[in-house]
Structure 1
Amino acid sequence: MRRYLSPSRLPRRLDRRLRFAATALAAAALAALVLPAPVERPQKQLVRWTAEGHDWLLVADRQQDRISAYDARNGQPLGTIDRASGLADVDRLVLEGRWLVVLGDAGPQVVRLPGLRPQPLAAVSR
């Protein structure tokens, strides 16, 4: 035998659903206030490279997708590599000896120091 909702039970069931929805919305709003905002990565990253008489500051610019090299002693610009030089997307820099590994959306790419020549990672591993 099937039971049908009586008109007196319908408001109670609807009231429970509304209370549940209001509780869920309040919890979501409270979580948005309590949780910290995601940290945005800086637009520029600075790496210092020192070897064989060289003392360089390498600045990666994420917006322009380029790396600029400066003399760390006097701030004189030494060179820039960008897409025109064969550099792909610049997201982050990792320094490994004489190699500067450039991480980005296009995959890892290496730059030979002090020559500032970008190379694909496959060419380095051979």
Structure 2
Amino acid sequence: MGYYTRVTGEINIEPPLTWQEFKDSPFLPGSANDSTAYDVRLRADEETVDTDDGQLIRKTASTVLPRWDDSFKAYNLIEHVQAIIDAFPGHTFSGRLDCEGEETGDLWRVVIRDGRAVKVTPQIVWPDEDGVA
């Protein structure tokens, strides 16, 4: 069974990864090294460019997304986000993944701070009622 977490959001990559950088990546669904063992994936973008020799399809990757659209067992999400950051040095990663577990109030995020994937949990504060703390 296990505990399931819904993960949404995205992490941006600047500058975008070139095809040579990510074509054999385990983070690219459908690649020769595709690994569903990772909780995150790259989104490949395609752009058609006119050249003197004809049309060229340029592939880049500028976004990290959750591997699945449905809830999944995100036990290693932070480590997997860090693995994708470490796999592509020379690029800046920014953004966040929002996470909501099965239990009420189980909310957290994965954010990027100084090149590190960090778990952030919210602080719930009750407002004062009529000056009573």
Structure with higher strand content: 2
Same topology, TM > 0.5: no
Q: TM-score, normalised by structure 1?
A: 0.30
Tell me the TM-score normalized by structure 2: 0.29
Q: Looking at CA atoms only, which structure, 1 or 2, has the larger radius of gyration?
A: 1
Per chain length, whose mean CA-contact separation is higher, i.e. which structure has more relative contact order (CA < 8 Å, sep 6+)? 2
Q: 1 or 2, which has the higher helix percentage?
A: 1
